[in-house]
Structure 1
Amino acid sequence: MWNIRPGWLGHFDEGGLRQPIYSLDVSPDGARLATGGLDGKVRVWSVPACLNSSDENEAETGLLSTMPAHTGGVLSVRFSPNGRWLASGSDDKMLIIWERDERSVAPKMSYGETDVVKEVWKVYRRLVGHENDIVDLGWSYDSSLLVSVGLDSNVIVWSGSTYEKIKTLSHASSVKGVTFDPAGKYFATESDDRTIKVWRISDYVCEATISTPFVSSPISTYFRRPSWSPDGSHIGGANAMNGRVSAAAIINRGTWTSEISLIGHEGAVEVVKFNPVLFQRADTEDVLTVIACAGQDRVLSIWNTTRSRPITTVADVAEQSTSDLAWTPDGLSLFICSFDGSITLLRFEEAEFGKAQGSDVNESVLSKYGAGRQGDILPESVEQLALEDRSRHAEEESKQERLADLMGTSAHEAALAMRTLPLEKPVEAVVVAEDSAINHTEGTAMATTTVTAPSAPTSPVRPYVQKVTMVNGKKRIQPQLISSGPAQSPSISRHNAPPQTSMIHQHQLEISQPSLALPRGGLPTLIAGNKRSAESQDDMPSAKRIADGSVGDPRDAPEFMRPAAVNPAATTAAVRLGIPKIQSLVSHINTIGIQYVFEARNPAKETSQDPVRVSFVRKGRVAWIDYIQSPVVLLIGTDHYVAAACEDGGLLIWTLSGRRFLSELVLEAAPAFLEGCETFLMTISAIGMLRVWDLRERKALFAPVSLAPILDAASSVYDKLTRGASITQAGITDQGIPIITLSNGDGCIYDKDLFSFVKLSESWWAVSSNYWDGTTVPRSAGGSTWNGASDTHAANGTARTAVSGGILGALERKTNDELMRQGRGRLLGRIVKQALTREGFEGLETAASIAHLENRLAAALLLRSQDEYREALMLYARRIAAEDGYLARVEELCRELMGPPVELEAAAAASWEPHVLGLEKRTLLRECLIQMGKFRGCQRVTTQFSEQLDRLASLSAM
């Protein structure tokens, strides 16, 4: 054994004093040594230079690179097994993934620099997730997973390819060590709660908790670094106790018990490390493993599995406690680092351990824990089989419950299913494509009216059913699936559906089929990009019908009498939407503010000349009645007005006292949507024209605009006949901003100042951004609805549940709903993950996340959402400060919030607005600087603006 301690190997301060070194690791090829220390720097060294350190000139060639990205001491460095990545964790709570840039040329030394740079290592990812120091890191054998542990008691599992957070686990106290099973089935973490937990990689469930060897262990150690043997049979646990003697515990795989303790150390053992190589001695046929132990007594002991005593011990290996150990891949060299800043290299002869075995022997030994690490994963215990059996049983029960819901086997289940449907019948959109037949789609739309009326029985459309023979020989009727059934609606998970107010009856609108009276081949559209081929009208699917829902009183069941008449304008329009059918009774129930019922009774027969009776009921009494000529399709009301949309395209508006507020407005076609909030009224006609009026001002907010651009956006990229996007929800805010969501997940508004639709939410952010909230349930009760209410808003008789997080949060949750309903999220996620592995797309996730936050900022401004703007601004400031290459955006953000310089403030005050959405910009800047101040990469910018704010505050105080 040779003991080598190069004098130039270490971290030094400006005075040349050694800084404590907390961690080190050797690359899989054995060429590089990475170290991390108190100075906040990660250094990469040449291992051959360390082995040949007798040459005095090696001081110039041993150091390969210095990476000063952390703002605190580096507590752990680990190379990935594939050799591509280097991970470093620090007490600045940041986990950084480094990648060596082989194409870049090492920069020349600047004046005053002492570190020679021969290799360029760049920050590939900064991972934020821990709330305290990151103490240890561990990679899986195939580099597919990275686990970080820290003083916040958390164990975070990251993807080794996309570096997304997969799972967060926890201990009862600080976690100070992690190690991976070389067989690829488990990883183990050691904590100050005096336990080692073994976690299954397959489902991240705790397989075992080992506490016996650590019951009386001290918690004064900074590290508890365990190690897994290369044959997968044992775990070496640090900081164990055998009676009152410090020891390292050897834990058996499978039983997870400790029968062997390595004793002899006078102080706590902080780190154990198995040699990565299996050896075989001449006097035995069994392979053996080698383990090194070190800790607070400054003694290194090395053991193997054939002897009850250490094969060697090295006293005074350092002047202070040992912090980490690292073997070279050949198993013959061991690096030791210490809190005194020293790095010692022990070089062994092969005869001291035995003959090194090749990787094939290692794979053969590991194969007993499964069909090889590259093969299928086999169950390792009876408990696992029992767990799988229970899982299959639960899955079958879930399928049976869904089947019962579809068949309507019980009234209770039918009621549950009805309450879980947050949206109503789809509004069908038809987009005319160049050289194509008419295309119409179905989505899920929020109905704008409820229907309660005496009804004559209608003849329902009978779905196709078939008999199937079961295993027991009995026959039963198999219901048609949602995807092919003509009378089914999308099934929504009852756990994800927002709650509905049970006091309000929920009814479904039946939607007429869009007009198809067009020449053969269709009409060309003004939307560029359509390449659809001509198809016959006979191939077009018929419009689906949704069966009317049950209501409390059988006499009030809705009567769908006939489709609404088709306006001639719809036969030549580029966009056609389905409109509600004419029903005997149309009602709107207002439960927010002034409570009332507004209803219209249409003539029972199409040939009847009787007028439509419109009534306003308040406190159980009819307040006023009016009569109109055309049948009513939709109703809406607020605390300021009530409105009725008619079959002939007429729109009538009354005050709550019954006075006609305006003469009848004439639309180009019957309305498909009618929405109102405060004094604003919105309509979407059957040909896709959007209008918004401010009734208080008696004027339209903007000229009528077509929905064709957003309805065609999802279908114009395909070269075959496809269904266009459908409107799944439409509403208006208390600011008069119309909001529309589509079946492709897009959420849009129309901005009257930009004269354009603006896309606020889309499925791309859901799969590419780190800041997308994948939950579909509001974060808390209460909040704001689209209509500015903070409670349930029973518009059109349908209870609308208030959503938290503001309008933008509601739009993103709606996008989540559509992704889950259509199953597009998994496909898009797979595309993004594949892109991340290709050259040139390494920064995709970072760029997309920052772009998503910028989109949120712009959207919050358009929606005038103060809370959402502030939240997005803080996240944005923190992220651009943490990433390399975004210094210009940091400065731009600070300058925009700071405004003109103090000395020019008087002259420039007239052109600068000091507030945004009612928030003072300079107050926001001060908060942003707090978020960005911890990142030293942008300190020159942040300190500059902090000084300006301080100077301004001192001037104001004078």
Structure 2
Amino acid sequence: MHVSKDKPIFSVDIHPDGSRVATGGQGEDCGKVVIWNMGPIRDEKEEADLSTPRILCQMDNHLGCVNCVRWSGNGKFLASGGDDKLVMIWQTSRGLGSGKSFGCSVTIVEQWRALATLRGHSGDVLDLAWSPQDVWLASCSVDNSIVIWNALKFPDQVAILKGHSGLVKGVTWDPVGKYLASQSDDKSLKVWRTSDWKEESSITSCFEECGGTTHVLRLNWSPDGNHIVSAHAMNNRGPTAQIVERNGWGTSLDFVGHRKAITVVKFNPKILSKQIKRTSEKQQQYSCCAIGSKDRSLSIWLTALKRPLVVLHDLFEKSILDISWSSSGLELMCCSLDGTVAYLGFDQSEIGMPMFKDDQQALLEKIYGKSVLASKATNASSHIIESAAVLNLQQEQQQHRERENSMSGSSVPPKALSAVVATGDQPFKPRDKQIETRTPDGKRRITPIFLAPQPDIGDAGIPAPFTNKSIAFNSSKETSKIITERQDRVTQPGLNVSSNSSQSHSLASPPHHLVNTIMHQPTAVSETKTCITEPGATTPFIPLHTPMDVDKTPVRPVTSTPVSRQESQNDKERVKEKEKERDKDPDLDKTKDKDREKLKGNLSLKRRHGKVGRPRKSERETQMAAMVSHPLPVLAEPERTRPVLTSQDLQLSVPTIQKSSVHLIEGQMGSDNCTTVEVENKLSIGTRQMHRVRCVSSGKVLWEQLLTSPVIAVAGSRQVTCVACEDKTLTIFGVGGRRLWPPLVLGSQVSVLKCTGCYIMAVISQGYLYVWNSRSVCGVIQGQTLSAIMTVSERVIRAALTNEGVPLLTISSGRSFIFAPEIGSWMLVNDRDDYLHVCSDHHRCSPSKGRASGPLASVQGGGSSNQQAGRIFQSDASMQQMSTVSHLENQLASSLALKSASEYCFWLETYIRYLAQEGLEGKLRAVCDDLLGPVYARTSGSNGWQPTILVSILS
């Protein structure tokens, strides 16, 4: 199966119903996910039939290469992860037909849409795994983390697992949902508990000789839950697939035979049984495992045999990256870096008899205990219950809830009630009947049928297995079955017609003067009893004031008969005969005209009296004037309050008190010329405890000080040394250990403490920022709250203080801020989710000397060039140009705010080079005018122009 020439395929996964297969890899200018029809793959006749579609759908939403695709267990969702740091959840769309998508030459047979986009990783997403019962989705990335997503409520995160120190390249779930296993480039395989998301075990001994030579490390758990088989282990300098036992996490066995590193391991989802020994007729149960390697070979193993069942050498031109078994256990597909996918079919005589799903579930319950299937993504309800007491307690709680529901008196179950609301069939009129009446002037009037609007896109549920019949086009030659009812009744304009035969009801509009009465007069609130009516019934309109005169004459039932084509033709002939009689006898015509005018007058009087239908122009003008002179009373809306985050809500972490610690001030730790501060807490001096701070340089003690409160944080520079204590004080020492100021009393304990030159920065646990200048003895920033830049759930992950005294804070959301005391506001200098830097195409205009280092480069991770700009805006050069200009102007402004002279020079030169290259004369002229300044700047000095930038750059 040739998928994409010269484009690698990184992942493949067969749909649970066996009719589709998804592949993910690299497209022309983006990541690509393709859903294929399995029919032509497994059947040569369907492959030869040109009318059978090969591709069902193609999705190009990923900006980077797609590394992994995985179907959910029920087949409803498809998850994909790629180099753009995103995980996308796909679902079928309802109401959309087949055709070609924009920019794609492939005909789309099925429509799939992105249900959710999950953002939580800061690097490429390499592997995905759905938990049993599709409660959670696990994703791993090169950012050394594993994110657990709530699959019942995307995009909520359940946990973030951070224990690996290298790229995490594979994840797999225990078949009973109790554990999660992951493998990383840090030469370890870790097992995590799903009950508290803590590390259960870490296996490292069999990976010590391994190197990070594989793109993925896709390990897998056996279907009986007894073993994990890892990728890329080493035994006597040879590549193996290590077998990790569930009982004790031992590593005594492995699969050997491949010549290069193993990239992927995949177990058959079925537990198999077969007669292995010829001397015994007993059926032996075992598992089947497929292993792919960088040596381009695939091996199939049965755990009951000591040697592989089959080995396929040179199956691809490049290494194997992913393997997928069908839910039946008799089909296997694997993909390679060379852009091809291989299909293998087995029969039961070769690999054994697959166990039925119910029998396999019963076996797992027998081994690990009975499990109450998870209905929510919570730790308490989703793990295997291995204690009988806990199971009995859950069953008692369930019976108690059922008794409460039965005593509530609800006759309609909630599911049934929601089904009635969802279908929407009950409150609408029948669609197989029309009503025809006559107006006073003899014209026919047909009451239209209300058709409920159907949503274009909705939850289509689990997709049905794809067959060629799914795309068959059928045309019906049957005539319309709608029955037309004729009513011998004169219909007035503005009145709705009801039919007894159709059992449909309609509510007419209220009279106009009654509407004005309701709008202009206050209403008295009376106590009324709530009455529940049956669906389809309508409530009669009751006026609040001044009841109308109503004719209480009983209404004669209206009989309706179907109208045929012959009767309609007879009506036309009768109208023509009446016109001929009127031409022959003018007196008769005048008499009828008088009767008609009299009838119209009576009808008009009745309409104006009852105010039914559209009012006259004069009456409408009078009503409008009355509304202007008496405006509607303004109803006060209920006061709505929105919770506002204050600094009192923030609670930052505080360093713990250590008995002794060493803090580096200058140099490199361990070198001869480094300067350190040594802290010794809780020294017993008589009956009291004191706390000593000692400054040591090149092995010599420069000064010592004693404090009365335990030390929790230390920072320093050549000019000053700062010590934060448990009693919420901050003591500042100068050169030689002299106290510069009395202890500064803060509102709470210090969470972050930094010193650069003569500047001191402190962030206290209540979420306030302070910056002092020890040279000028002044406060640069005095108690600025952090509530404007972070929430309660976020934390400060990085803090820095520039040489110019500018505080720089990075929040766990990936955004970095500085505070500018000149304007009294926070400034956003970097955002991890801002794609302007990804889309910028300025790299070819950068100076040859390379990017200058500074605080902006450090917070942006060095600013390595990105290759996505040309791909994203390949069809719109103007958008790419605007994106690049915006990014360069942001960099200039951020460098200026950070007071980084070298970075400002770098970005100014890059900005000018790009403007000159693109021919943006207007912006170039603005830069020159800003640098040159006005002609009379030195004499006037009143326009605010500064002759220097950052003191020593331009003059």
Whether the TM-score (by the shorter chain) exceeds 0.5 is: no
Q: Max radius of gyration: which structure? A: 2
Q: TM-score, normalised by structure 1?
A: 0.44
